[in-house]
Amino acid sequence: MGVINFIMKKKKLNLRDINPNSEKKHSHDDGHNHNSSSNNLKVYIPGIISFTMLMIGIALDYFNATIFKDWLRLGWYIVAYLPVGHPVVKEGWKSIKRGDVFTEFFLMSIATIGAFVIGEYPEGVAVMLFYAVGELFQNAAVNKAKGNIKALLDVRPKEANVFRNGEIVRVSPETVAIAEKIQIRVGEKIPLDGILISKKASLNTAALTGESKPDTISKGANVFAGSINLESVIEVEVTKEFKDSSIARILDLVQHATARKSKTELFIRQFARIYTPIVVFLAIGVTLLPYFFVDDYVFRDWLYRALIFLVISCPCALVISIPLGYFGGLGAASKNGILFKGASFLDVMSKINTLVMDKTGTVTKGVFKIKAIKSFDLAEKEMMSYLLAMEAQSTHPIAQTILQYDSEIKYQAENVSEIAGKGLKGTVNGKTVLVGNKALLIANNIEVPIETDAVVDSIVMIAVENKFIGYVILADELKEDAKETITALHKVGIKNIIMLSGDKDSITQQIASELGIEKAIGGLLPEDKLNEVEALKQNPNYKVAFIGDGINDAPVLAASDVGIAMGGLGSDVAIETADVIIQTDQPSKVVKAIKISRSTRKIVWQNIALAFGVKVIVLILGAGGLATMWEAVFADVGVALLAILNAVRLQRMTWS
């Protein structure tokens, strides 16, 4: 199958075509692999036959063999042509019947058959042979580019050990329900998302996050399908059905990523459809028009030049190498734990010059520790009882930290409501309780001690029955790679870095100062962040990316030119809203994402320049009679191969 046909039929990466899902297919794996190897060898046989016969024919021509004349010579080269030429001519005829005339199959058929008509038999065979060899290289390159996707498919778990009726039953993961308990032995893949109910586990999450370093987690932590259990037998309580698991969502994301074409790719496809017929008509002009302007017009010579024109006109290098370049970029990114939702976002990411980031969970760990507790009028234990009752109703990281103060919650909170960006309001022990920041208390006309203004760290204030009764100070810490991330961003040319946070402005400024971020604004509500980003986008010189945790920053992720979700592996909102998903909690991966996108764009434009440059030169030489079919072969197949090799470099690059 020709390369254009291959791309047009496979332009959406269909994982079902390469995923051995069915039981029938699984049961024949060994035979299938053997047949696959045999098929790989068979595809080279037609080329080997044509090449051998071509070399013998050229040798007989060179030595002027008396027997190798007329019909025998023609017959020999026809037989040499058929193994590689017949599939192309057949595909060209099918395309014409479908109404698609100007395909590469039609062009190569006309050019090579035309070479036979004017007696250039060896060149007719050689052009088709090199074209066929080029196809083999192109298909091999595409298969290589699919490697990272196939690696993801390999980690999709096939079976689950589930506890049912007092025994362990081995079943398909699709049949396991939420809240069922599963067992994972050493070396096995976790089949579904869930919560660890064993004391601890050591997991290899490389397939999901791109990180080879084992991840050690404790009881109650989230585990994700596709991770490999490294040490001891563990048990997990299932929290999501198989179709909603992290690995299933990631595979679906990657499957649809190739369908979202970049503007460059779409332009080249449109251009190729216009460009090819234009060159065909120019070739007809090259054949016939000189008759009216040249005294010694020889039809055969001008037809030969026109045939060269046709060979050169095939847009193989453009049509295959550009999608392959973007596909290589998507694969390289996923290998590093970065998921782009499409080639279009690779393009936009390469142009980013303004980076806006959240604080908590993005550059800080979002894991707070209680630093100090101060109570007024109530004993500390009693004040904390009110606070614990309220925070038990929240999923915020600060709430989870406060709940570690005491495992026993004395009171039950009722009628709890969340005031966005401020805190919680509810009833505890029959009393109205407010828990949150200073803005919440002031909005309810509660006087706040002036001493709280001197607190730089995060502070949670408590009021009972409209009276301030105390506060808790919590401290967050920076992620290990946060500082180096800002330095690396500056090095790659992202000078405009802004931090926006819902946390206190004093804390936001302190963190920004530590990291070397010049502009930071704290105390923002979600809509305030959105307004800040939209204000930046008003400047036509800014291409704005926003990095957030993918949960409470969903509006800003959606509004920015590129929304980047940090640590989005387990976040449904991140998968839905963000354009780029960093599967770990490492902000430094953003730098890698920028480098990969820029390298991809650079390689794509190198290929465009190479293809157009060589084609234009050889087209001019061909029209002037200075280029033969051999130069035409290089301009078509040779340049396509060079472009493909250039695109494949993305698979081998490293981004430190």
pLDDT tens for 341-390 read 888 888 899 999 999 998 877 888 877 788 889 999 889 999 999 999 99
Give me the residues paired with residue 487 across strands. none
CATH code, residues 157-245: 2.70.150.10
Residue 409 binned pLDDT confidence (cut-offs 50, 70, 90): confident
pLDDT of residue 377: 85
In the chain, CATH 2.70.150.10 covers 157-245
Select from 276, 189, 288, 155 the least CA-distant residue to 636: 276
Least confident piece of the model among 165-179, 220-234, 239-253, 604-618 = 239-253
Window from 80-84, 369-373, 427-431 with minimum mean pLDDT: 369-373
**If you average pLDDT over every residue of the chain, what do you get?**
81
Whole-number pLDDT of residue 574: 61
- Residues 399-419, mean pLDDT to the nearest whole number: 85
Q: What percent of the chain has pLDDT over 70?
A: 83
Partner residues linked to 546 by β-bridges = 356, 563
Q: What is the mean pLDDT of residues 598-613?
A: 89
Element (H, E) at 428: strand 423-428
3-state secondary structure at position 474: strand
Burial class of residue 521 in the structure, from the number of CB atoms within 10 Å of its CB (0-12 exposed, 13-18 middle, 19+ buried): middle
For position 624, what pLDDT does the model report? Answer: 74
- Architecture in CATH for domain 369-475: 3-Layer(aba) Sandwich (3.40)
Q: Looking at the annotation, which residues are catalytic?
A: 358
Phi, psi for residue 14 in degrees, rounded to 5:
-95, 100
Q: Residue 403's pLDDT is what?
A: 87
* Distances 168 to 198, 227, 230, 255, 326 between C-alpha atoms, Å: 16, 21, 20, 34, 45
pLDDT tens, position by position, 7-43: 333 333 333 333 333 333 333 344 444 444 455 677 7
C-alpha distances (whole Å) from 127 to each of 51, 315, 584 are 11, 15, 50
Mean pLDDT of 604-620: 84
Q: Which CATH superfamily is domain 333-359+479-596 in?
A: HAD superfamily/HAD-like (3.40.50.1000)
pTM of the model: 0.66
User: Rounded CA gap, 188 and 136, in Å?
Assistant: 37
pLDDT in the model for residue 180: 94
Mean pLDDT of 170-179: 92
Is the per-residue pLDDT at 430 higher than 50? yes
Distance of CA 89 to the CA centre of its chain: 37
Element (H, E) at 373: strand 369-375
**Span 526-552, pLDDT tens digits:** 788 889 999 999 999 999 999 987 566
Q: Which of 260-274, 539-553, 600-614 has the highest mean pLDDT?
A: 600-614
pLDDT for position 262: 60
Q: Where in the chain is the domain with CATH 3.40.50.1000?
A: 333-359+479-596
Which residue has better confidence, 319 or 187? 187
Query: Burial, 247: exposed, middle or buried (Cβ in 10 Å; 0-12, 13-18, 19+)?
Result: buried
Q: Which residue has the higher pLDDT, 476 or 140?
A: 476
Could you give the CA distance from residue 202 to residue 417 in angstroms, rounded to a whole number?
38
Q: C-alpha distances in angstroms, 542 versus 343, 353, 598?
A: 20, 6, 17
Buried b / exposed e over 215-235, threshold 16 CB at 10 Å, is bebeeeeebbbbbbbeeeebe
Give the closest residue to 307 by CA, choosing from 618, 643, 51, 69: 618
Give the residue range(s) of CATH 3.40.1110.10 domains in the chain. Answer: 369-475
Distance CA 194, CA 245 (A): 9
Q: What percent of the chain has pLDDT over 90?
A: 28
DSSP assignment of 250-309, as one string?
HHHHHHHHTTS--HHHHHHHHHHHHHHHHHHHHHHHHHHGGGGT-TT--HHHHHHHHHHH
Confidence at residue 301, expressed as pLDDT on a 0 to 100 scale: 86
What is the per-residue pLDDT for 209?
Answer: 64
370, 474 Cβ separation under 8 angstroms: yes
Closest CA to 360 of 226, 507, 171: 507
The most confident of the ranges 249-258, 408-417, 617-626 is 408-417
Residue 452 reports pLDDT greater than 50: yes
Query: pLDDT at residue 212 above 70?
Result: no
